[in-house]
A and B are shown apart, each in its own frame.
Chain A
Amino acid sequence: MATTTLAPRAGVYTGRRSWIYEWLTTTDHKKIGAMYVTTAFGFFILGGIFALLIRSELAIPGVQFVDPETYNQLFTIHGTTMIFLFVMPMMTGLANFVVPLQIGAADMAFPRINALGFWMVPLGGLLLYSGYAVGGAADAGWTGYAPLSEQSGAGVDLWIAALVLLGFSSILGAINFLATIFKMRAPGLTLMRMPLFVWNTLVTSVLLLFSIPVLTSGLMMLFIDRNYGGGFFDPAQGGNPILWQHVFWFFGHPEVYVLILPAFGIVTEIVPVFSRKPLFGYKAFVFATTAIGALGFTVWAHHMFTTGAVYLPFFSFFTFLISVPTGIKFFNWLATMWGGKLKIDTPMLYAMGFIALFLIGGLDGAFLAVVPFDFHVQDTYWVVSHLHYVLVAGSVFGIFAGLFYWFPKMTGRMLNERLGKIQWVLLFVGTNLAFFPMHLLGLDGMVRRIVDYAPNPGWTELNFLSTIGAFMIALSVIPFLWNVFTTLRLPKTAPDDPWDGYTLEWATTSPPPPYNFDVLPPVRSERPLFDLKHGAVAARGVALPAVAGTTHDETRADPPEEVLGEPVEGHSPQAEAGDVQPGVSAAAPDAIAHEDRPTTATETTSSVTDVPPKEPKK
């Protein structure tokens, strides 16, 4: 009875391709996600080296290592690298890997566009860094304020080209995520049952979709000003330099949430799993996330209080307002942990570090919403401290939480917990040491983006502390790299569900097959896997990984029919996966379900008879 009904293209994919060709041409969201993560981490190290050069120069007063022009290039390329080439691709990579798995899809909606979007990232990096080959990279800061950015060398043109390219990559990614989330969710996975990471990716994608094009338009104006005699930002020609700040921050503030919302999502995934509790206030989380997304478009001019060109009460009010949904999230995280049975593994450690430190960054931001205070600390190290507390203590902690959490799913191997905790301690101490002194320096009036500073009382000590912290952060990366390096040499022994998770990505193997799921569990809540493990559904042997070491409540010997594994409509892994899976064609054709003949529960279970049904514990 073995036929090839399900594998009409069997035999097409017979030639062995080299792994290089495989990775260069892949459209598999998991491989693309892995490439995003790896590329982004490479840029993280590069951007970190720039940061170390900056901090080395600032360790003591005077100009020691770099001349002022080089210093300007350093902080420009450091900022641009970290934001556009590290955090954004890293978040896109994690979402690329996780979102289709969490919604039970076989891939992204547009796999080839997905690959295109990825390959633009290294190309964008190349464009940005090629500034060094044409007489100096961009040196106008990552914000590229006019008129300075109109007067600098050719590096700024390459910076513009790089940002346009990276922005286009982000737009393609955003479209892909939205189409995937709206169109490819598993049956039963309604919007209000989606994992919070998916919700955060959704809102992030909306922010990218509507904010990046505005930056692109501003970059085009800047390019025309620089190269074709345009006058957009040139007062001598009737233009207005403040216009650049408007278009930049209209992008730039939603961008802030683009950088942090995915980290919120990661932490919101991890906290309930490691507290062994459902998430406190799921709906509040969803509304808070969407509120942050909507309000994110109303606060751009709080970066421009001191220009005198914006209506201060409006933007001050909305800046305060946006801290409300963020506060809701904080209380919900704490309430989720409250009374929970906390498992302090590395992902949870990073999530808790995130909650503790992001609070500081968030409060700094609320300070900046106070107009008189903002006037006092504008362009000082207070702002540097604030943005690093939200981006290092926020995004980076979230990223490491996510990397430790999903590493077993991505590679089939568990990262070493001990090394992870050593890294966490170094990063936690280093972050505070590097960025807390900047608060005091900022209050004291030390201005950012200048190569030298006066040896005022206390400044040298605080700057030196900050430099030590920066090197500690750099040091913390070494145990991580060693951890990844040694782990990848071990056999793939990670269980499919190492954390006893709640969401669908843990329902497939580690690492997942190219088509992701053989079968999907029924989705009846925002925790389908918890329902599966604790609702006695697994007793009927739905083809899911056995979960070891968990206390199952399987006292119900006879689960009602309707909670059994249901046929997965619209999910056709064999048809979607590019590769033909060995062994598929050997399946009994009787079990093939067509649209006009719905699979019944009996057939569902009969086709998995090789999996021995678990005996319910009496």
Chain B
Amino acid sequence: VTADSQAILVPHVEDDPHAGHPAQGVNTALLGMLLFIGSELMFFAGLFGAYFNTRASALGLGQPWPPAGLENVVEPSIVPIAATIILVLSSGTMQLAVWRIRKGDRRGMNRALALTLIMGIAFLLMQAYDYLNFVTQDGFGINSGVYGSLFFTMTGFHGAHVFGGAVGIAVVLLRGMAGQFSARHHIAVEAVSAYWHFVDIVWIGLFATLYFLK
């Protein structure tokens, strides 16, 4: 018996090797995701701040906003409205996936995840279609003055986040199809769900700001 064996043998936490207090509070991995979402929120807050700062400067100088010649480029037409509805609904199907796996229904979760993934991809395709129209028909791009820079940077980074969320959904879907989740073990699904809701909420803010408030 060496000195090392003097360890007091302590309870074995099997579920989560990193949880100090296994039964208490939010899961450590989920907490990590929520904190990450907090920092992502501040990233978009920086972009929103830039938008409102620029808008206020222009209005303060008595200039029109959106700038002259670009007043009617960004309009809530059928495609962005449909894309918005799809993204909001996909938040619902994402939550459905979480509810299904909490009940232990793997098949139901997989179906809901697949549906969410399809809706996420649909949103991205519609955004791409919108971009294409802006650039080809309106001649409106990221270099169309500060307004274009703001519009494409804000929606572009949001699109990148939707893409990241879609990759996350694809990963949990593959893991779900491999049977890796159960009613007790599905923290990845919860985390991806939280991220997807965040991406959805940011879009609602962007849509309201860029398409209606202007």
B19-27, B119-127, B132-140 - interface stretch:
B19-27
A584 pairs with B4, CB closer than 8 A: yes
Which residues of A are found within 8 Å of B22, using beta-carbon distances? 570
CB of B143 within 8 Å of the partner chain: yes
Which residues of A are found within 8 Å of B18, using beta-carbon distances? 107, 109-110, 183-184, 576
Which residues of B are found within 8 Å of A218, using beta-carbon distances? 46, 50
A221 pairs with B67, CB closer than 8 A: no
CB of A105 within 8 Å of the partner chain: yes
Nearest B-chain residue to A234, judged by Cβ:
B146
A586 pairs with B39, CB closer than 8 A: no
CB of A379 within 8 Å of the partner chain: no
B28 pairs with A109, CB closer than 8 A: yes
Which residues of A are found within 8 Å of B10, using beta-carbon distances? 567-569, 571-573, 593, 599
CB of B77 within 8 Å of the partner chain: no
CB of B82 within 8 Å of the partner chain: no
Q: Report the minimal beta-carbon distance from B205 to chain A, rounded to whole angstroms.
A: 14
Q: Report the minimal beta-carbon distance from A273 to chain B, rounded to whole angstroms.
A: 26
CB within 8 Å of A: which B146-176 residues: 146-150, 153, 157
B46 pairs with A217, CB closer than 8 A: yes
CB of B180 within 8 Å of the partner chain: no
Residue of B10, B19, B36, B44 with most chain A CB atoms under a 10 A cut-off: B10
Nearest B-chain residue to A225, judged by Cβ:
B149
B6 pairs with A232, CB closer than 8 A: no
CB of B42 within 8 Å of the partner chain: yes
B51-59, B90-98, B99-107, B195-203 - interface stretch:
B51-59
A232 pairs with B149, CB closer than 8 A: yes
CB within 8 Å of A: which B1-31 residues: 1-13, 17-22, 25, 28-29, 31
Residue of A232, A519, A593, A610 near B150 (CB, 8 A) is: A232
Which residues of B are found within 8 Å of A183, using beta-carbon distances? 18-21, 25, 28, 31
A231 pairs with B143, CB closer than 8 A: yes
Separation of A517 and B172 alpha carbons in the complex (Å): 35
CB of A557 within 8 Å of the partner chain: no
Nearest A-chain residue to B67, judged by Cβ:
A238
Which residues of A are found within 8 Å of B20, using beta-carbon distances? 105, 183-186, 570-571
Which residues of A are found within 8 Å of B142, using beta-carbon distances? 224, 228-230
A117-125, A205-213, A444-452, A474-482 - interface stretch:
A205-213
A212 pairs with B39, CB closer than 8 A: yes
CB of B32 within 8 Å of the partner chain: yes
Separation of A575 and B150 alpha carbons in the complex (Å): 50
CB of B179 within 8 Å of the partner chain: no
B17 pairs with A6, CB closer than 8 A: no
A518 pairs with B7, CB closer than 8 A: yes
Separation of A513 and B7 alpha carbons in the complex (Å): 12
Q: Report the minimal beta-carbon distance from A416 to chain B, rounded to whole angstroms.
A: 29
Nearest A-chain residue to B149, judged by Cβ:
A230
A44-52, A243-251, A274-282, A528-536 - interface stretch:
A243-251
**Considering only CB atoms and an 8 Å cut-off, how many residues of chain B contact the other chain?**
54
Q: Report the minimal beta-carbon distance from A209 to chain B, rounded to whole angstroms.
A: 5
Known A224-B142, A238-B54; contact A182-B38, beta-carbon cutoff 8 A? no
CB of B204 within 8 Å of the partner chain: no
Separation of A498 and B96 alpha carbons in the complex (Å): 57
Which residues of B are found within 8 Å of A595, using beta-carbon distances? 11-13
CB of B49 within 8 Å of the partner chain: yes
CB of A582 within 8 Å of the partner chain: yes
Which residues of B are found within 8 Å of A214, using beta-carbon distances? 42-43, 45-46, 49
A179 pairs with B49, CB closer than 8 A: no
A179 pairs with B43, CB closer than 8 A: no
Separation of A184 and B20 alpha carbons in the complex (Å): 4
Known A214-B45, A221-B153; contact A572-B12, beta-carbon cutoff 8 A? yes
Separation of A225 and B50 alpha carbons in the complex (Å): 13
Which residues of B are found within 8 Å of A513, using beta-carbon distances? 4
CB of A307 within 8 Å of the partner chain: no
A182 pairs with B9, CB closer than 8 A: no
Separation of A184 and B17 alpha carbons in the complex (Å): 11
B7 pairs with A221, CB closer than 8 A: no
B149 pairs with A239, CB closer than 8 A: yes
B6 pairs with A608, CB closer than 8 A: yes
CB of B177 within 8 Å of the partner chain: no
Separation of A571 and B20 alpha carbons in the complex (Å): 7
CB of B145 within 8 Å of the partner chain: yes
CB of B128 within 8 Å of the partner chain: no
Nearest B-chain residue to A570, judged by Cβ:
B20
B8 pairs with A583, CB closer than 8 A: no
A575 pairs with B8, CB closer than 8 A: no
Task: Annotate A578-618 by CB proximity to B: 1 below 8 A, 0 otherwise.
Answer: 00011110110001111100110000100110110000000
Nearest B-chain residue to A605, judged by Cβ:
B8
Q: Report the minimal beta-carbon distance from B125 to chain A, rounded to whole angstroms.
A: 23
Separation of A610 and B5 alpha carbons in the complex (Å): 10
Nearest B-chain residue to A111, judged by Cβ:
B18
Q: Report the minimal beta-carbon distance from B35 to chain A, rounded to whole angstroms.
A: 4
CB of B115 within 8 Å of the partner chain: no
A519 pairs with B31, CB closer than 8 A: no
Task: Annotate B65-97 by CB proximity to A: 1 below 8 A, 0 otherwise.
Answer: 001000000000000000000000000000000
CB of B206 within 8 Å of the partner chain: no
CB of B47 within 8 Å of the partner chain: yes
Residue of B3, B21, B38 near A210 (CB, 8 A) is: B38
CB of A298 within 8 Å of the partner chain: no
Nearest A-chain residue to B24, judged by Cβ:
A183
CB within 8 Å of B: which A189-244 residues: 209-218, 220-221, 224-225, 228-232, 234, 237-240, 243
Q: Report the minimal beta-carbon distance from A203 to chain B, rounded to whole angstroms.
A: 14
Which residues of B are found within 8 Å of A608, using beta-carbon distances? 6, 8
B57 pairs with A240, CB closer than 8 A: yes
Separation of A313 and B82 alpha carbons in the complex (Å): 47
A175 pairs with B39, CB closer than 8 A: yes
Q: Report the minimal beta-carbon distance from B146 to chain A, rounded to whole angstroms.
A: 4
A230 pairs with B4, CB closer than 8 A: no
Known A109-B28, A220-B157, A575-B17; contact A570-B149, beta-carbon cutoff 8 A? no
CB of A171 within 8 Å of the partner chain: yes
Q: Report the minimal beta-carbon distance from A494 to chain B, rounded to whole angstroms.
A: 17
Known A182-B31, A224-B153, A587-B5; contact A237-B145, beta-carbon cutoff 8 A? yes
Q: Report the minimal beta-carbon distance from A426 to chain B, rounded to whole angstroms.
A: 40
Separation of A228 and B156 alpha carbons in the complex (Å): 13
Separation of A171 and B11 alpha carbons in the complex (Å): 33
Which residues of A are found within 8 Å of B11, using beta-carbon distances? 567, 569-570, 572, 593-595, 598-599
Known A213-B40, A221-B50, A570-B21; contact A238-B5, beta-carbon cutoff 8 A? no
Q: List 6 A-B contacts (CB under 8 A).
A: A171-B36, A174-B35, A216-B46, A237-B146, A519-B7, A607-B6
Closest 10 CB pairs of A and B: A229-B143, A217-B46, A213-B43, A230-B149, A583-B2, A184-B20, A583-B4, A231-B146, A214-B46, A213-B42
Q: A213-B46, A238-B58, A586-B2 are in contact. List 6 more A-B contacts (CB 8 A).
A: A109-B32, A175-B39, A185-B20, A575-B12, A591-B8, A598-B11
Chain B residues with CB under 8 Å of chain A are 1-13, 17-22, 25, 28-29, 31-32, 35-36, 38-47, 49-50, 53-54, 57-58, 63, 67, 142-143, 145-150, 153, 157
